[in-house]
Amino acid sequence: MGHQFARAAAAAALAAGGVACGGGGGEAEPPPVLDNARDLVAAADSSDVAASAPAGEVGATVAGELPPPDPSRYEGANRVVNLLIGPDGEPVEIDVWGRRTFENGPILLASGLGFGDASSYVAAPVEYTVVAVGAGAGPDGLALAEIFNAVAGERITSVVATGGDGEASVTHVFEVGSETGFEAPAPGTGLLIVAAPNVEAFGDDLTAEVGSDRFEIGDGSEACRPQRRERAGLEPEILGDPGPVELQVPAGVTTLSIHPWVPTAAPCSLPAVLEIDVEVAPDSVTLVLVARTPSDTIEAFTLPVAPS
């Protein structure tokens, strides 16, 4: 097990026509925050990632292989999230490897990540190609997805999920050190980065069940939450499109309601398929991933972004 996202409680099966919300009284409950179950190459604070040498099962190279790289060459910070469902509807467990180079052997960066699991931030030398393979497939296993390898000063969370073509796809969230990253929240507020990386793969099912495979984000009272981009005069993003939705919110408990998006309906007016409460600390950044699960539910997974 890796560090598992905090989950929205009691997501209801869409096939049963349920509305996913926490608690029996109709009020959303905050998702539980689970402790990191495994110590990988580096802690969540990535300040010492580059100096972290591989140790133990994770980070070790394969016996009989080329020598491991010198610890001084480990750069950047990579974190991998698994939201991958196979063609049979079952979850796909993955390992993450740095492929061997001409001079050094392969490096195991994360192992046994199940659906809804995330690794800690881990480092690899810049010349390594980082891939996700089926759990136990080994360093030469078929690459299900190639993952960006963060360079010095970068921190990236990569979400491996089922794409629209049924194959694995990767959504990269550039946290630190890239021009494509997000701006920090205004002082005293929090930033929620919301994405739905695997819903496109289940578009036909979701459209039949809830009327759409794209969604709007409300505040629990049939009003849409204002997005950062709207303050710049831009049209709001639709959840399920390629780009994430950025929400700057006050510190405290923030309610998110997920509504099917239908062009002919008033914004956020259709019944929510999911409602959660997210605890927002001042100056914090939190990833919120809305995903179709192997049990045919829609759930929200939250993961804190380490401070810069």
The pLDDT assigned to 41 comes to 29
Res. 89: pLDDT tops 60: yes
Return the domain boundaries, the chain: 3-304
**Where residue 63 falls among pLDDT bands split at 50, 70, 90?**
low
Arithmetic mean of pLDDT over the chain: 79
Say how far apart CA 84 and CA 96 lie, in whole Å.
Answer: 13
Percent of the chain with pLDDT over 70: 77
Say how far apart CA 199 and CA 121 lie, in whole Å.
Answer: 26
Say how far apart CA 30 and CA 23 lie, in whole Å.
Answer: 10
Burial string for 147-184 (b: 16+ CB within 10 Å, else e) reads: bebbeeebbbbbbbbbbeeeebbbbebbbbbbeeebee
User: What's the pLDDT tens digit per position in 156-176?
Assistant: 999 999 988 888 999 988 887
Instruction: Single out the residue of 305, 116, 117, 300 nearest to residue 217, CA to CA.
Output: 300
- Range with lowest mean pLDDT among 49-63, 81-95, 125-139, 257-271: 49-63
| Token pair listed for 29 | 């409950």
The pLDDT assigned to 287 comes to 93
Q: Count other C-beta atoms under 10 Å from residue 198's C-beta.
A: 26
* Residues contacting 183, CB < 8 A, separation 6+: none
Res. 58: pLDDT tops 70: no
Res. 50: pLDDT tops 60: no
* Residues contacting 218, CB < 8 A, separation 6+: 224, 225, 256, 257, 258, 259, 268, 272
Res. 23: pLDDT tops 80: no
Res. 66: pLDDT tops 80: yes
The pLDDT assigned to 165 comes to 84
Say how far apart CA 37 and CA 102 lie, in whole Å.
Answer: 34
Prediction pTM value: 0.80
Place of tokens 């993952």: 147
Q: Mean of the pLDDT values across residues 249-275?
A: 94
Instruction: Give the type of residue at 191.
Output: L
